[in-house]
Amino acid sequence: MTSRRQMFLTLALVLVGAALVLLAASRTWVTAALSIPDYPSVSVAVSGGDAAPLARAAGFVGLAGVLALVATRGIGRRIAGALVGLAGLASVVAVVLFWSRTGSVADDALRRAAAGVGGGTHATEVASTSWPVLALAGGVLVTVGGLLAAAGSHRWPSMGAKYDAPTTRRKSDTDPWAALDRGEDPTTRD
């Protein structure tokens, strides 16, 4: 595989993974029917961003990492790749923690969501959706893309020199103002 193809594949992995994480984090992960004495039940939904806020933050870091991987080169690109990989890993850990502690995480999130409903509430039905699976898959893609960038980005093409910071311009030997000071006519030169 050519270095250019590897670069575009890695950037696509990170971009698609970060988009999946952000999409999943914006959707509902847990719903519950809350029972309030002497009132009808109230339905409360908790988004992935509320249930696992680290996953959403890691998705934004992944998107920013795509720009960093394109704009840098050398050791800066390797560091950016490592940071993107860590962001993907953080997203995976956040989703796994959500699953391993679904009861307590869901209860905390539902309690925060129900705070405006009133006291004495308790959940009668709690249901999880499949959006965390998509967030987990996106986190894995971001992690793999970040690791590929950290390991192989030294072979990738970089942006042209025209994007580098300008350097000081060397003074020409034939400075037109100096020629005028010497009494020479700059219009008569070849």
H/E stretch holding 31 reads: strand 28-35
- Contact partners, residue 111, CB within 8 Å, separation at least 6: none
**Residue whose structure tokens are 């894995």:** 140
pLDDT, one tens digit per residue, over 115-168 is: 555 555 666 677 778 899 999 999 999 999 999 999 987 787 776 666 666 766
Beta-carbon count within 10 A of 19 CB: 16
* CA separation for the pair 76, 16 (Å, rounded): 22
Give me the pLDDT at residue 155, please: 80
Domain hosting 90: range is 3-188
pLDDT, one tens digit per residue, over 85-121 is: 999 999 999 999 888 876 565 566 666 655 555 555 6
> What sign for the dihedral angle of Cα 84, 149, 26, 96?
negative
Give me the pLDDT at residue 98, please: 86
The enclosing domain of 102 has a CATH number of 1.20.140
Does the pTM surpass 0.75? The reply is no
DSSP codes, 77-114: HHHHHHHHHHHHHHHHHHHHHHHHTHHHHHHHHHHHHG
pLDDT, one tens digit per residue, over 6-43 is: 889 999 999 999 999 999 999 998 887 777 777 777 78
Q: Do 172 and 51 contact (CB within 8 A), yes or no?
A: no
Query: Which residues, listed in sequence order, are joined to residue 125 by a DSSP beta bridge?
Result: 33
Residue 148 sits at φ, ψ, to 5 deg, of: -60, -40
Give me the pLDDT at residue 128, please: 78
Total of domains in the chain: 1
Give me the pLDDT at residue 58, please: 93
* CA separation for the pair 114, 180 (Å, rounded): 82
Judged against a pLDDT cut of 70, whether residue 78 lies above it is answered with: yes
- Rounded to 5°, angle at Cα 181 from 178 and 183: 115
Which one has a higher pLDDT value, 181 or 91? 91
Give me the pLDDT at residue 111, please: 61
pLDDT, one tens digit per residue, over 40-75 is: 777 878 888 888 899 999 999 999 999 999 888 889
Q: Do 14 and 66 contact (CB within 8 A), yes or no?
A: yes
Give me the pLDDT at residue 74, please: 87
